[in-house]
Amino acid sequence: MSTLHYLVLAPFIMAIFVPFFYKWFRNIHTGWFVLILPTVLFVYLLQYLPVGGPMEPLQLTVPWVPSLGINFTVYLDGLSLLFALLITGIGALVVLYSIYYIANKKDEPLNNFYVYLLMFMGAMLGVVLSDNLIVIYVFWELTSLASSLLIAYWFHKEKSRYGAQKSMFITVTGGFSMLAGFSLLYVMTNTFSIQEIIAQAGTIINDPLFIPAMLLILLGAFTKSAQFPFHIWLPDAMEAPTPVSAYLHSATMVKAGIYLVARLTPVFGGTAQWFWLLTIFGLVTLVWGSVSAIRQKDLKAILAFSTISQLGLIMSLLGLGSAAVHYDVAEVDMLYATAVMAAVFHLVNHATFKGSLFMVVGIVDHETGTRDIRNLGGLMTIMPITFTISLIGLASMAGLPPFNGFLSKEMFFTGTLNATTLDIFNVSTWGFLFPVLAWVASVFTFAYCMIMFFRTFTGKYQPEKLKKEAHEAPVGMLISPIVLASLVVIFGLFPNLLGYTIIEPAMQSILPNLLGEGDRFYVNIYHWHGLNPELFMTIGVVLFGMLVVLNLKRWQETTFFLKERDPLNRVYDSGLDGLITGSQRVTNFQMTGLLRDYFAFMMVFMIFLVGWTFIQFDALSFESLAMFDAGEVTPFLWIITLVLIAATVTMPFIQQRITGIIVVGVIGFLIALLFVVFRAPDLALTQLLVETVMVVLLLLAFYHLPELRKEKFTPRFRFTNLVISVGMGLMVTIIAFSVHALRQTSGFDPISDFFVEASVPLAGGYNMVNVILVDFRGLDTLLEVLVLAIAALGVVTLIKHKFKGGEDV
Amino acid sequence: MKTNFLMLHTITRIVAFIILSFSVFLFFAGHNNPGGGFIGGLMTASALLLLYVSFDLKTIKRVIPFNYSTMIAVGLLIAIATGLNSFLFGDPFLTQYFEYYDLPVLGETELTTALPFDLGIYLVVVGVALLTILTIAEDDA
Amino acid sequence: MEILMIITVGVLVSVATYMILTKSLLRVVLGIMLLSHGAHLLLLTLSGLGEGAPPLLGEQAEAYSDPLPQALILTAIVISFGVTAFLLVLAYRTYKEHKTDDLDELRGSADE
């Protein structure tokens, strides 16, 4: 275990102590204790930033399930470092913000909140820092779980529960398909380690499983990163407390899909399917998200759709950039690698401006009591600091200079324009759409930024519509958004601060094979590129965006604007309803409440399953019947067997309790005799004694129970019973015949020879059965007596505690 | 009319004693001959059951003041403890050891850790069988 | 010899299944007892019958019958003893509470 391993585990360990902090230091907000952790982790991670040299990937392994090739390997390279810094950095700011956002009231379950938050932080660090796909999957699902728990933090609200359930269903479905994809990768490469898979990337590309694996993994990434049409969970996730939305649902968790795509680009990149899937889904999400955001009335909903659209943007950039893997010529590569550079840069920018915007919206909500833009307005003078922060954030999101959003948007345009010149994957036919779609989406992005700005801060102040009297937020609440907003400005003015510390190392991990040994990508970001197409596109965005905003009043009454909910929600809702009613129908059909039906289902299924397996593998054999030699059966054995069969057959016809007990006893003693004949003295003794004790038990129990009645069955009931029971008997008989024949012919050596040889030297015992019980298979025996003890406990509980029929037990 | 069970009681006493001693023999014989914890335990249980059946519950409870649920717990603990014992020697759980010793009176005798393990089983089996049956028998509801 | 035993096992399983499928709780318990008898006998039969001495090394025999299935069956006998005891008590308690041992009458209400 290295420090980096503990770094992943630290949040989980911290989470154990949170309830104690909450309980013992009730007067201090629990958040202050939690804040220490992400801050320390962030500072610790900063030392890994490469300064003045290339980033050396770090790989440390701790075996977990070595027999399956599952190791907890920490892999730290540019991409992981970027994400780890985002998780801990934004995490620290969000925790600080949450201290003021969620007041330390008497019945506020702060312990739950911070336990979930730490669980998320650890899981997310696990996702981005591990090299093993299975470990990634486990942490991936943990993030889904933590996200769902956090969305449902105010679980008394029905919408919170709905949102939590929805996000859980969608992301876990995706995660499951991703696991299938990982398994296919394992089938192809025989390893779960991403770095080893990347090393084999060239050889698996022609494997028939390559495309299915890609599709399954992409499904996981798309659901997590809220790509169209799986984005519908994200707007409903906004029911979570705002710090959570800022942290999970904009800055970190939803970027896990982006991370996975970037991480696996060396494996799948360079293929037409990867390129088209990412680009198309990314662009559609981009446009859909930005257009949907226009018509939202809730500030957080606008931000949610905006997040969806920005995630689409990053996804499409990764798609466009993956074309670079296809070429081997370095100059051409650089043309497309720009898209990857833009993706990484925008990832950072989005985290900064969207984080600050979410926090600002949280402040507005906190101080005015509403997030509905129809009730807000004129807050500019009342909340000047909040106003300034959101001005910076919104301008950056709209893509205005000199903020960082402008830079990455320009690079996005460059990337799409470069892509039109691609001469692979049939891009020449449809490639012109890339810049067009990008431009349209940017127009709408600009428009919703303006709407947020004008409707919240300018216009008429409407105090009568607000639940509280609006005033500026407390200083503590403003610190985090101020930090993020200043980062927006700093990264906007000095983008090259990030150049070789963050962006270039991350590009190295996304496109590892592009450069020769020791080469580095050329990263130099600046504002003025001259009068190029990108600049004109930006000017067009501003002009048309203004037009959209100015004409908004005219469109406001159209149905498009009045319906806020995404139409795709209907698919989800009806699908879920159908699933529930469907499963209820299936359940009602099979769960009849009759024990007999359950037994019948099980037995019929067993007959068919076992029978089918035997026929499938051609294992049925009746040869052993021919080996039957009546001569070797002694008269003694004949008598025992025939009496046994006769006694057995009479069992169903017995009407008296005492007769039943006697016949069952007879059968048991006959079995014991058979054990004697077949040279199993221990078994014979045990069976005899068990039978003795059992008779006493039966007598006692039957004393309390009613007489066995003659049962009235319908002929059909009797017939099905007969068929099933004869079927079971035949199945067992035929299989036993086949096994017996196989045993004669196959020539397998029974493992019992081992016991014959080893009993005395290894265990010092001459009774092999007993030696097996207490020595070789001692654990089985231990668990067996445990079962016995549990059964006895059950008996005592049943009788001494006397549960009534109506009680829910 | 008071029924006289004198014959029954006298014979039961003798027989139960014989069965009990035989069950102890079976328990110790277990490692090398038919017998062992299960069989010894069941036989002890049946001897005690015989006593319970021929006398009545109250009398026997006075004579044999065992708490059978404690017996089960003790048995399980003994079995687990012998398993844990192997950790002391750095071996996996439930590794058993044996050695031949020259004991006074008994001569050369084999001592195994399997014996206390078997004792645990023995106690659990006796406890379970009797606890179950006595619980039903005592239930007068 | 094995063939005869296999047929016996078949009969035991058939009758046990038939009893498990009836409506009386007691017959179900008896059926389960028969089923475990059948299973024990089947295990023993399939390991081969009458081949060698009892699995006691003190016998100094040429060949021994297979000890492993015997150990397994011994475990199974004791477990089925525990399970049967539990089932009996369950049946007894059910009868005490519901005054019936008919499984049709014991089914839960439809809206559960």
C5-26 b/e (C-beta count within 10 Å ≥ 16 → b): bbbbbbbbbbbbbbbbbbbbbb
Chain C hits for A724, Cβ within 8 Å: 17, 21
Residue in B33, B129, B136 closest to C56 by CB: B33
Distance of CA B68 to the CA centre of its chain: 11
Residues A604 and A734 in one domain: yes
The pLDDT value given to residue C112: 44
C42 lies in some domain: yes
Residue B140 near chain C (CB below 8 Å) = no
Residues of the domain holding C33: 2-52+63-106
CB A488 within 8 A of CB A403: yes
Contact C95 A705 (CB under 8 A): yes
SS3 A669: helix
Identify the closest residue of chain B to C77 by CA–CA distance. B38
pLDDT band (50, 70, 90) for residue A401: confident
C58 lies in some domain: no
Chain A hits for B51, Cβ within 8 Å: none
**C-alpha distances in angstroms, A524 versus A79, A342, A408?**
19, 11, 12
Q: Which chains touch B (3 or more CB pairs under 8 A)?
A: A, C
Identify the closest residue of chain B to A782 by CA–CA distance. B79
Residues A646 and A720 in one domain: yes
pLDDT band (50, 70, 90) for residue B120: very high
Mutate to test the interface with B, among C57, C81, C95 (most CBs of B within 10 A): C81
CB C94 within 8 A of CB C25: yes
- Distance (Å) from the alpha carbon of B116 to chain A's nearest alpha carbon: 10
One DSSP character per residue, A544-562 reads HHHHHHHTHHHHTTSHHHH
Residues A734 and A755 in one domain: no
Taking residue A112's Cβ as centre, other Cβ atoms within 10 Å add up to: 16
C68 lies in some domain: yes
Q: Is the pLDDT of residue A517 over 90?
A: no
The pLDDT value given to residue A718: 85
Residue B27 near chain A (CB below 8 Å) = no
Cα angle value C98/C99/C104 (rounded, 5°)? 70
* Strand residue runs (E) in chain B: 98-103, 107-112
Q: Is the pLDDT of residue C42 over 90?
A: yes
Identify the closest residue of chain B to C81 by CA–CA distance. B129
Dist CA A248 CA A392 (whole Å): 22
C48-65 b/e (C-beta count within 10 Å ≥ 16 → b): bbeeeebbbbeeeeeebb
Chain A hits for C64, Cβ within 8 Å: 752, 756, 768
pLDDT tens for residues A737-758? Answer: 888 888 777 777 777 788 888 8
A271 lies in some domain: no
**Amino acid identity for residue B32 in this structure:** N
Residue in B33, B125, B141 closest to C58 by CB: B33
Contact A686 B39 (CB under 8 A): yes
CB C62 within 8 A of CB C47: no
Residues A759 and A783 in one domain: yes
Mutate to test the interface with B, among A679, A690, A693 (most CBs of B within 10 A): A693
C112 lies in some domain: no
C94 lies in some domain: yes
Say which CATH number the domain at C95 has: 1.10.287.3510
Identify the closest residue of chain B to A777 by CA–CA distance. B94
Contact A791 C14 (CB under 8 A): no
The mean pLDDT of chain A is 85
pLDDT band (50, 70, 90) for residue A333: low
Residues A629 and A708 in one domain: yes
Burial classification of residue A558, based on how many CB atoms lie within 10 Å of its CB (0-12 exposed, 13-18 middle, 19 or more buried)? exposed
Dist CA A257 CA A307 (whole Å): 13
A445-464 mean pLDDT: 84
Would you mind telling me the total number of residues written for chain A in this entry? Answer: 809
Contact C89 B132 (CB under 8 A): yes
The mean pLDDT of chain B is 85
Identify the closest residue of chain A to C60 by CA–CA distance. A766
A48 lies in some domain: no
C19 lies in some domain: yes
Contact pairs from chain A to chain C, CB under 8 Å: 258
A263 lies in some domain: no
The residue among A214, A224, A132 whose CA lies nearest residue A174 is A224
Would you mind telling me the total number of residues written for chain B in this entry? Answer: 141
C57 lies in some domain: no
Dist CA A449 CA A189 (whole Å): 47
Residues facing residue A635 across a β-bridge: none
Residues A684 and A703 in one domain: yes
Total number of domains constituting chain C: 1
Contact B32 A774 (CB under 8 A): no
Residue in C58, C89, C92 closest to B32 by CB: C58
Residues A578 and A611 in one domain: no
One DSSP character per residue, A750-798 reads PTHHHHHHHIIIII--SBHHHHIIIIITHHHHHHHHHHHHHHHHHHHHH
Dist CA A341 CA A357 (whole Å): 24
A302 lies in some domain: no
A657 lies in some domain: yes
CB C9 within 8 A of CB C45: yes
Residues A742 and A754 in one domain: no
Total number of domains constituting chain A: 3
The pLDDT value given to residue A630: 64
Contact A769 C45 (CB under 8 A): no
The pLDDT value given to residue A667: 93
Dist CA A171 CA A221 (whole Å): 9
- Distance (Å) from the alpha carbon of B33 to chain C's nearest alpha carbon: 7
Residue C49 near chain A (CB below 8 Å) = yes
DSSP conformational letter for C59:
G
The residue among A608, A598, A623, A590 whose CA lies nearest residue A728 is A608
- Distance (Å) from the alpha carbon of C110 to chain B's nearest alpha carbon: 30
Dist CA B89 CA B92 (whole Å): 9
C44 lies in some domain: yes
Chain B hits for C85, Cβ within 8 Å: 128, 132
- Distance (Å) from the alpha carbon of A63 to chain B's nearest alpha carbon: 20
The pLDDT value given to residue A329: 55
Dist CA C112 CA C104 (whole Å): 16
pLDDT tens for residues A461-495? Answer: 777 777 777 778 888 888 888 998 998 888 888 88
Mutate to test the interface with A, among C77, C105, C107 (most CBs of A within 10 A): C77
- Distance (Å) from the alpha carbon of B6 to chain A's nearest alpha carbon: 22
**C-alpha distances in angstroms, B7 versus A533, B47, B55?**
117, 17, 12
Residue matched to tokens 């199993």: A680
SS3 A123: helix
- Distance (Å) from the alpha carbon of B8 to chain A's nearest alpha carbon: 18
Residues A586 and A677 in one domain: no
Chain B hits for A790, Cβ within 8 Å: none
- Distance (Å) from the alpha carbon of A800 to chain B's nearest alpha carbon: 8
Residue C60 near chain B (CB below 8 Å) = no
The mean pLDDT of chain C is 85
Which helix or strand (DSSP H or E) is residue B52 part of? helix B37-54
Dist CA A772 CA B114 (whole Å): 11
A250 lies in some domain: no
pLDDT tens for residues A160-171? Answer: 899 999 999 999
CB A672 within 8 A of CB A688: yes
Residues of the domain holding A785: 749-801
pLDDT band (50, 70, 90) for residue A342: confident
pLDDT tens for residues A74-123? Answer: 888 888 888 999 999 999 999 999 988 888 777 788 888 899 999 999 99
CB C87 within 8 A of CB C26: no
Q: Is the pLDDT of residue A192 over 90?
A: no
Contact C96 B141 (CB under 8 A): yes
Dist CA A204 CA A540 (whole Å): 45
Tokens, residue A809: 């037990």
A571 Cβ contact list (under 8 Å, min separation 6): A229
A788 lies in some domain: yes
Dist CA B91 CA A506 (whole Å): 48
The pLDDT value given to residue A567: 80
- Distance (Å) from the alpha carbon of B43 to chain C's nearest alpha carbon: 13
Residue C64 near chain B (CB below 8 Å) = no
Q: Which chains touch A (3 or more CB pairs under 8 A)?
A: B, C
Q: Could you give the dihedral angle defined by the CA atoms of residues A516, A520, A521 and A523, in that order, rounded to the nearest 10 degrees?
A: -170
Mutate to test the interface with A, among C9, C17, C44 (most CBs of A within 10 A): C17
The pLDDT value given to residue B30: 80
The pLDDT value given to residue C111: 47
The residue among A441, A460, A509 whose CA lies nearest residue A261 is A509
Contact B34 A685 (CB under 8 A): yes
Dist CA C1 CA A627 (whole Å): 10
Q: Is the pLDDT of residue A646 over 90?
A: yes
Contact A683 C44 (CB under 8 A): yes
B63-86 mean pLDDT: 89
- Distance (Å) from the alpha carbon of B54 to chain A's nearest alpha carbon: 12
